[in-house]
């Protein structure tokens, strides 16, 4: 007889519990630094590859909703970064040659750099001005002992998405903005 496949609801409860656990272990000082860096920047440019790229695109969208000048690497309208700007890279596994190259360009041209990662000792975070540690399974450690309900780096990516939306709430509170103002900045071209 084949092994019984867990019910969707059981898997969902496990995944949600894991995401909550990860968010509960993010150092509060990291979240404060992330908020400080975002608010201090003249311009914010974000980068991520694959699914992490989707998460930072979501962050950029929320930052625009907050009235901040945010862009995504690779979009044709993304301006250069320089002094007073912030380059944010999502590098869950701690190393990614493209991210490391872009971090080098941002540093060379005077921008501050921030890396969001599950592996804070990796090459990319070691070279950043600020590191936000999201303590979740990534592609760097998805084959070991205790494994997430979610495949590969999905736990990191899901926690990152929720973290970014929570940060947008914290930023809205810090700036005295409102949900209505955020909604007014949402695109009407849908």
Active site residue ranges: 157
| Sheet containing 70-72: order of strands | 70-72, 43-47, 85-90, 112-117, 130-133
- The β-bridge partners of 113 are 87
| Angstrom distances, CA of residue 136 to CA of 31, 64, 100 | 15, 27, 21
Residue at token pair 């519990």: 17
At 49, list the tokens. Answer: 């590859």
Q: Among 84, 126, 80, 76, which residue's Cα sits nearest to residue 105?
A: 80
């Amino acid at each position: 007889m084949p092994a019984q496949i867990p019910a969707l609801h059981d898997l969902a409860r496990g995944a949600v519990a894991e995401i909550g656990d990860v968010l509960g272990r993010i150092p509060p000082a990291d979240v404060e630094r992330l908020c400080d860096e975002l608010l201090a920047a003249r311009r914010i440019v974000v980068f991520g590859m694959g699914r992490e790229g989707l998460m930072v695109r979501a962050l950029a969208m929320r930052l625009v909703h907050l009235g901040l000048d945010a862009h995504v690497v690779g979009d044709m309208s993304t301006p250069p970064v320089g002094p007073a700007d912030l380059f944010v890279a999502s590098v869950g596994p701690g190393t990614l040659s493209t991210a490391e190259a872009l971090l080098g360009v941002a540093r060379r041209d005077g921008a501050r750099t921030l890396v969001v990662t599950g592996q804070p000792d990796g090459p990319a975070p070691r070279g950043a001005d600020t590191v936000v540690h999201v303590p979740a399974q990534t592609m760097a450690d998805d084959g070991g002992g205790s494994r997430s309900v979610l495949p590969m780096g999905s736990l990191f990516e899901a926690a990152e998405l929720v973290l970014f939306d929570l940060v947008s709430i914290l930023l809205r509170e810090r700036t005295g903005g409102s949900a209505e103002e955020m909604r007014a900045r949402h695109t009407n071209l849908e």
